[in-house]
Amino acid sequence: MTAPPTPCCPRCHGALEGDPADEQRCTACGTTYPALAGVPVLVPDADLQAIDLRETGGHLPTYDCSAMGIPSVDAALARGDLMLELGAGLDAHRAENVVRTDAFVYGVDHLDLVADAHALPFPDASFDYVFSLAVFEHLHSPWTAAKEIARVLKPGGECYTLAAFMQPLHGYPDHYFNATESGLRRLFSDDFDVTSAGPSRFCPHPQSLEPGYRMREMARELRDDRTTHWRTRWRARRLDRALMTAGQQFLQLADDMTHRPVGYEAWRRIAPAVEVVAVRR
């Protein structure tokens, strides 16, 4: 198996010297890069306190990228591709051919280095495969990140991106852009041949109910306000119960509905996430 690429300066792509677990310096431009709890932070002028979310980053789920059943990811793992994961969060996968990066530190045992997807600290044509799961909606300039993915991929290399579509604001610390199928396809159209784009089945159905949950919050506040007219409170109670029942029924029927042609076409207009698979030209 090919060894992972040696990280470089994200500012000028110069070589780094020093201890990755302590401090490194670019031999070309002189920029220094610290470490956070032993994790190299390859972002110029990084605020270590701001990126340290081990205690304040919310309830980010632990997952294993090899256990999600995503065909493109599974195929790359089976081939032994040299893989880069953007926004790895708490990915528990530990294969040596998967380099896990994130802009924040949620747990030091789940991260190889801190990197900004807009300026990746790797030489050109370093990887066979790049993937990200629920990351692009949190990037302030996703078109720049798509260009960086193209730069670090070898010609013929593949990328897989799953991004929010019909999802409300979420995540820490920021949520900038949701993507449509055509929007995600366009992001990768300059440097890639897009092989597939569409709604993603790897985003759980309960996320489709998020707008309903928020409406229930609104209804319950009105229901419990004793200063509101009784008829309004009664209607709010009925709305809360109707949304609860609808959500329960949807979860029971979602798989069957979305695998039927008409149901699929309806679902693709409200799917929580969209995905794209693309090959570097």
Q: Which whole number is the average pLDDT over 257-264? A: 96
N residues, the chain:
281
Judge whether residue 107 has pLDDT over 90: no
Q: Are residues 133 and 214 in the same domain?
A: no
**pLDDT for residue 229 is more than 70:** yes
Band (109; pLDDT cuts 50, 70, 90): confident
- pTM (predicted TM-score): 0.94
Q: Is the pLDDT of residue 108 over 90?
A: no
Residue 163 · residue 136 · CB < 8 Å: yes
Give the residue-averaged pLDDT of 101-110.
Answer: 91
Report the largest interatomic distance among the alpha carbons of the chain, rounded to a whole angstrom: 72
Burial class (CB in 10 A: 0-12, 13-18, 19+), 171: middle
Same domain for 76 and 130: yes
173 band by pLDDT with thresholds 50, 70 and 90: confident
Residue 77 neighbours by CB distance under 10 Å: 18
In DSSP notation, 4-54 reads: PPPP--TTT---EEEETTTEEEETTT--EEEEETTEEB-STT--HHHHB-T
Give a yes or no: residue 60 inside a domain: yes
Range of the domain at 72: 48-203+271-280
Residue 39 in domain? no
Contact 194, 188 (CB under 8 A): yes
Phi, psi (degrees; rounded to nearest 5) at 218? -65, -45
Under DSSP, is residue 192 helix (H, G, I), strand (E, B) or coil? strand
Domain shared by 178 and 132, yes or no:
yes
- Confidence band, pLDDT 50/70/90 cuts, at residue 58: low
Query: Residues 172, 91: one domain?
Result: yes
Residue 192 has pLDDT above 90, yes or no: yes
What percent of the chain has pLDDT above 90? Answer: 91
